[in-house]
Structure 1
Amino acid sequence: GQVYHEVIRKEREGEYLGQTVQPIPHVTDEIKERIRDVAKDSKADFLLVEIGGTVGDYENILF
């Protein structure tokens, strides 16, 4: 819910410059941004992230 909430907030504030908001790339970009932020803020030597799913899952998840 937090990722979708942030994407919707950014869309409403015009950060996507009028583009149609889509799961790919907007939602996936938000997820990548959050992973990068955690890595940067934690100052860890490395960050291990488990990513799952299959091709097409993210675009169909809303239906």
Structure 2
Amino acid sequence: MTSECKTLADKLEAAGVKVNYKKYDGTTHEFFGMAGVVPQADEAQGVAVADLKGALK
């Protein structure tokens, strides 16, 4: 089963938008704000920060 997030990422990519899709298995939607409690949140925040810095150069 494809998630709605993956479907959106695929459609954006098909439209020529640069996409960095990452799936974090075993997490809930709000895990991103739970750094320090959920190990994948630290990684996800790092990816988001790096992508944002790259986009703002």
Same-fold call, TM > 0.5? no
Please give the TM-score of this superposition, normalised by the length of structure 1. Answer: 0.34
Q: Which has the larger radius of gyration?
A: 1
Q: Which has the higher contact order (CA 8 A, sep 6+)?
A: 1
